[in-house]
Amino acid sequence: MMTSCSPGWINYIEQYYPELLDHVSTCKSPQQMFGAMAKTYYAEKINVSPEDIVVVSIMPCTAKKFECKRPEMSVDGKNPEVDVVLTTRELAKMFKQAGLDIRTLPEEEYDAPFGITTGAAVIFGATGGVMEAALRTVYEVVTGKTLEKLDFTDVRGLEGIKESVVDLNGTKVKVAVAHSLVNAKKLLELIKSGKCDYTFIEVMCCPGGCIGGGGQPYGGTNEIKLKRIDATYQADRDLPLRKSHESPAVKAIYDEYLKQPLGEKSHKYLHTHYTNRKKAD
């Protein structure tokens, strides 16, 4: 199975390797899951029509703009889950135009009901972070044991393709992480040849992951990307909750609205499908 949270990666595999789309996770990206929950669960909670809610997403990624416009990314086929996407570079420009220096602003808590985050959510921004976040939860779900060592360092870093073997209660699972489409292509060719022995593959379109996204400030050298990655993992270490399934906000959404993972509502609002966009030769 391959990850699905990088829209640039999804665009690529739809255009050049559509025959492998069945191997891609059907999970929507965090952006689209948030939008779907904002216009369903949250709309019901505050008794407001979804049509009267505008969801604005701040992202380091230009491909997110296309993603939010995909027709399947809508609530009941008519109302977009995410209305507008601004890149971090665009937001920084707006701050400058308004004369705001965010470094001088006091820190505040995030708004409810989605304001409680985990370290697993934070590390999504770095290559290998999605894999690591998933493994933290998968290990505990599969083994029924508490994962004491939370850091899967083998899948971190700026190397093109990284791999690791995870022991799930005696079952060895081989995983791989690729960033940039050049490296993604190498893995896709392995899959096509039948020589791929990975169970789970993470692919990020941008070098370093979202921290190196196309919507980030210009001049992102490898040194800057490494500093962003280090800051991401430090934020993870500093948070009291570091596993996705420990989030009270996630638990509340399932208890109050979705009811169960892979249930009818979960499938409707948190999962999607892909399109063969390959051009005729």
Domain 7-270 class, CATH top level: alpha beta
Q: Quickly state the pLDDT bin for 151 (edges 50, 70, 90).
A: confident
- 72 Cβ contact partners less than 8 Å away, ≥ 6 residues apart: 272, 273
- Identify which has the larger pLDDT, 7 or 150: 7
| 42-61 pLDDT per residue, tens | 999 999 999 999 999 999 99
Q: What is the mean pLDDT of residues 186-196?
A: 94
25-34, 142-151, 188-197, 239-248: lowest mean pLDDT where? 142-151
| 89-136 pLDDT per residue, tens | 999 999 999 999 999 999 888 888 888 889 999 999 998 899 999 999
pLDDT for res 85 = 99
In the chain, where are the structural domains located? 7-270
Assess contact for 29 and 68: CB atoms under 8 A. Answer: no
- Identify which has the larger pLDDT, 41 or 221: 41
pLDDT for res 281 = 64
The pTM of this model reads 0.93
Percent of the chain clearing pLDDT 70 (strictly above):
100
Q: Quickly state the pLDDT bin for 160 (edges 50, 70, 90).
A: confident
